Amino acid sequence: MLRPHGTLADCIFKGDDDELTFHLGAFIEGKLVSVASFYFENKPEFEGDHKHQYRLRGMATLPENQRQGLSSALLKTAFPLIKGNQCSLLWCNARESAEGFYNKIGFRSHGEIFDIPLIGPHRLMSIEIR
Ligand SMILES: CC(C)(COP(=O)(O)OP(=O)(O)OC[C@H]1O[C@@H](n2cnc3c(N)ncnc32)[C@H](O)[C@@H]1OP(=O)(O)O)[C@@H](O)C(=O)NCCC(=O)NCCS
């Protein structure tokens, strides 16, 4: 659903199989309905305050299961894992349409909106993990 005009190959990200990468999913009656992936990857502009960081990618919930708290639950599961890996920041390139969701979780927005070709407007966002 994140790449409706793409192929399965567009859903494979660099680092998917790295040792420190983890992928979370929420299941309802055995059906995978919400996903998020976490990569040990720094955004250089945050390195002054956060030596080690994680990047969030591929966060999505099936339309019929949205607004049930599933993405929040995945993030709350991820935070202690990120902290346990000695990282103090989680960042992402958030779709403009999802910025409200990330704000509710506690993410902060940074800089201007930028365009990712074929996907649309995004903004850099981050949350400190304590
Ligand atoms: C954005 C998305 C991942 C949120 O998933 P979700 O499982 O519906 O999120 P939750 O149910 O945990 O929502 C948590 C809170 O954020 C709110 N929220 C959810 N989506 C929102 C949005 N797009 N804008 C503003 N608030 C939003 C919810 O109402 C909820 O608020 P509450 O705690 O007051 O009830 C989901 O809408 C989605 O898959 N969108 C399409 C794909 C996408 O844009 N992914 C993000 C890529 S950066």
Tally of structural domains, the chain: 1
Tell whether 3 is covered by a domain.
no
Residues 90 and 61 sit within 8 Å (Cβ to Cβ): no
Residue 1, domain member (yes or no)? no
Decide if 43 contacts 91 (C-beta within 8 A): yes
User: Cα–chain-centroid distance for residue 104?
Assistant: 14
| Ligand 1 near 63 CB (within 6 A) | no
Residue 16 maps to which CATH number?
Answer: 3.40.630.30
For residues 115 and 122, the answer to whether their CB atoms sit within 8 Å is yes
- pTM for this prediction: 0.96
37 lines ligand 1 (CB under 6 A): no
C-alpha to C-alpha distance for 79 and 88, rounded to whole angstroms: 9
CB of 119 shorter than 6 A to ligand 1: no
Q: Is the CB of 61 under 6 A from ligand 1?
A: yes
pLDDT tens-place string over residues 20-58? 999 999 999 999 999 999 999 999 999 999 999 999 999
DSSP string, 62-115: -GGGTTSSHHHHHHHHHHHHHHHTT--EEEEEEEGGGHHHHHHHT-EEEEEEEE
Lookup: tokens for 34: 């919400």
Report whether residue 34 contacts ligand 1, using a CB cutoff of 6 Å. yes
Cα 96 to averaged position of ligand 1 atoms, centre (Å) = 12
Is residue 2 assigned to a domain?
no
pLDDT for the residue 107: 98
Ligand 1: which atom is nearest the Cα of residue 75? 12
Q: Could you report the per-residue pLDDT of 58-76, keeping only the tens digit for each?
A: 999 999 999 999 999 999 9
Q: How confident is the model at residue 10 (pLDDT cuts 50, 70, 90)?
A: confident
Q: How confident is the model at residue 3 (pLDDT cuts 50, 70, 90)?
A: confident
32 within domain boundaries: yes
Q: Is 54 domain-assigned? A: yes
pLDDT for residue 54: 98
- Domain containing 111 equals 8-128
pLDDT at 93: 97
Ligand 1 centre distance from Cα of residue 74 (Å): 12
Tell me, yes or no, whether 63 lies in a domain: yes
SS3 (DSSP) at 20 = coil
- Cα dist from 12 to 17, 42, 105, whole Å: 10, 19, 26
Write out pLDDT tens, residues 77-101: 999 999 999 999 999 999 999 999 9
